[in-house]
Structure 1
Amino acid sequence: MLMIDKGDFARHHAPASLADRIAAGMVRVMEGAATRLFGRRYGDGAVVLETVAAVPAMVAATLLHLKCLRRMMDDRGWVRAFMDEAENQRAHLMAFVALQQPGVGERLFIAVAQGLFYNAFFLLHLISPRTGHRLTGYLAEAAVRDYSRRITRLTSGQEENVPAPAFAVGYWNLPPDARLSDMLLAMREDEAIHRDINHAFADALAAGRTLPEREGGQL
C-alpha cells in the first residue's frame, strides 16, 4: 500500500526476498564505489549517485507507459509521476553542479557511468520490474541517510554552511538567505517521497498488482 511520509527519515524496507537482497546489495556496491572515487571531493557518495539517479524513474515511466498501452489500461497518473521524479532528480544534480563544477575527467566518467547504468537498469526492469523499483527505493534510502549526515555536519559547524545556489532557491522556493543545509533538507524530503513510491510499487508487483493501492484501499 502506498503510504508517503516525507518527514520520516528513518523508514527502511527490510529485504524480504532474494530479489530484495540483491537490490540492497547493488546499492551498497554503488555507494561504496562512489565514496571511494569522489568521497573526498563531494563529501558524500550520494552526490555522485545523483548523476544516475534520474535514470530509474525515466525507465519506469517508459516501461509503465508501454505496459499500459499493451493492456489498454489507465496508468492513473503514474507515468507522469515517474517523469516528474526523473526531472526532480536532475534538479538535484544541477543544484550540486551550481556549487562545484566537475572536472573533465569526472564528466567523462559520469557520461560512461550513465550510459552503462541506463542500459543495465533498463534490462533489469524488463526482467524484473519489482527488483528495479526495489533498487530505486534503496537508492533513495541511501540518499536520505547521506543527506541526514551532511545536514548534521553543516548545522553543527563541522562544515561551512555556504549559501544555497540561486538555482536551488528558485526550484524549491527557499528563502533568499537559504543555506546549503536548507537545500539538503528539501532534497531529503524529495528522496523520502521517491523511496516510499518505489517501495510501494515493488510491493504491489510482488502481490501481483500493476499499480499500488493508496491508503483506504483505492488504486
Structure 2
Amino acid sequence: MNLYGKASQLLLKQLGKRLFTTTSFTGSVITEPFMVHAGTTTGTTRLLSMHARSYNVQASSVSSPEKKDDTDTKAVSSYWGVAPPSLTKADGSAWKWNCFRPWEAYQADTTIDVKKHHNPVTWNDKIAFWIVQTLKYPTSLYFRKKHIHHAVLLETVAAVPGMVGGMLLHTKSLRRFEQSGGWIKALLEEAENERMHLMTFIDVYKPKWHERALVFTVQGVFFNAYFLAYIASPKLAHRITGYLEEEAVNSYTEFLKDLENGVMEDIPAPAIAIDYWCLPQNSTLKDVVRVIRADEAHHRDLNHYASDIQCQGHELKEYPAPIGYH
C-alpha cells in the first residue's frame, strides 16, 4: 500500500496542474523564413515565398459567461494541450485562411512549356491516351465556353489521383517496411495543390445543385476506377493522370484566350489566390488562370516522369521525388 500511495502522490504531483488548472500555451516566434529548395527533373527552381513570418499559439480559458461557446472551445483545446494557431502576415495583419498556411504560399513558375505532349508509343500509353480522350468529349460538350463551371468540375476530379496514389504508396511503404523516395509527399502535395485550385474557383463561382450532383457522381466513379487502375498498373495510372493534366493545360489555355480577347470579364483575383500564389494586389482572374495552368503543367510532367520510371522497369522509390514541383 505504501508503494501504491507514493506512486499516486507522485502522479498527482506531476499531473495536478494539468488536471485542475487551465494552461496557457504560447508558441515561439519564427524570425527567419522557411527556405525550401526543390530540385526538379527539368532543373526548374521553385521559389517559395511567405506572407507571414511569425505566429503565436495561445489557448486560454475565458470565464466570461457572455462568451460561452468561445470559452468551451478554448477549454477543450487547453486541456489536451492543442491550441489553434493565430497566424499573422509579415505586415502584422491577421492571416485569415485556415485551408493553407503562410509557409505553403509560393510563386508559380509560369515559364514552363505548356505545349509539351507525350506521344503515345507503347500499348500502355495508347490505352491511357484514349481513355482520357474518351472522357474529354462529354465534358467539352456539356460545358462548352462555361470555363469557370468546367474548372470547378475539373479540379474536383484532378485532386483525386494524387491522393489515391499517395494513399496506396503510403500503405505499400507500411506493408513492405520500406522508404517511398519522397513520392508519397509529392503526390499528396499535388492533391493539395489541386484542391487549392478548387478553393480559389468557388470564391468566384458557386456551383448549382445539379452541378454539385454531377461532381458527386463523377468523383465517386472516378475515385474507385482510378483506385483499381493504380492497384492493377501504377504506370498506367500515372500515364492517365499525365494525359489528364495535358487536357487541363489545354482547357486553361482556352480559358486564358477568352479572358484576353474580352469574351469573359477579367474580374479582380480572389483574395485567397493572391495570398496562395503570392500575386500582386492588383492581380486579375487572368493572372490566376495563368498560374493555375502552370501548376497543371508541372503535374503533367511529374506524372509522365513517374510513369516513365515504372515503364523502364524501376520502382518510384529508386528515384528521388521532385517535392515542391507544383
Fold shared per TM-score above 0.5: yes
Q: How far apart are residue 4 of structure 1 and its match?
A: 6.4
The match for 1:146 is 251
The correspondence of residues 116-131 of structure 1 with structure 2, limited to 5 A, is: 116-131=221-236
Using the TM superposition, give the Cα deviation of residue 68 of structure 1 relative to its aligned residue in structure 2, in angstroms.
2.3
Over 3 Å counting, the alpha-carbon distance change for 1:132 and 1:78 in structure 2 is same
Deviations 1:50-88 (A, max 9, x none): 111111000110111122223332212211111111011
After superposition, give the CA deviation of every residue in 1:26-67 in whole Å (9 maximum; x if it has no partner).
Answer: 212222111222234336745522111111000110111122
- Offset from partner CA, 1:99-158 (integer Å, 9 cap, x none): 111101110111111111100110011001111000101111111112122212212323
Segment drifting more, 169-178 vs 44-53: 44-53
Q: Which residue of 2 aligns with 1:187?
A: 292
Larger radius of gyration: 2
Q: 5+ unaligned residues in a row in structure 1: which ranges? A: none
Alignment of 1:5-44 (within 5 A): 7-42=112-147
CA distance in 2 between counterparts of 1:152 and 1:209 reads 40
Summarize deviations over 1:134-183 as a string: whole Å, max 9, x none.
01011111111121222122123232211111221121111111111100
Structure 1: which amino acid aligns with 2:224? Answer: N
Q: For the aligned residues, what is the CA RMSD?
A: 2.1
TM-score, reference length from structure 2: 0.62
Pick closer, same or farther for the CA change 1:139–1:22 going to 2, 3 Å.
same
Alignment match, 2:216: 111
Deviates more, 1:66-75 or 1:55-64: 66-75
Decide whether aligned partners of structure 1 residues 75 and 137 sit closer, same or farther in structure 2, where only a CA change above 3 A counts.
same
Q: CA deviation at 1:18?
A: 1.5
* Contact 2:183 2:320 (8 Å CA) reproduced: no
Q: Is the 8 A contact 2:113 2:297 kept in 1?
A: yes
Residue 93 of structure 1: CA displacement?
1.3
Aligned mates of 2:151, 2:234 — CA distance in 1: 23
Name the structure 2 match of 1:166. Answer: 271
In structure 2, runs of 5+ residues without a counterpart are: 1-39, 45-108, 322-326
- Contact 1:57–1:82 (CA<8 Å) still a contact in 2? yes
Percent of aligned pairs with the same amino acid: 41
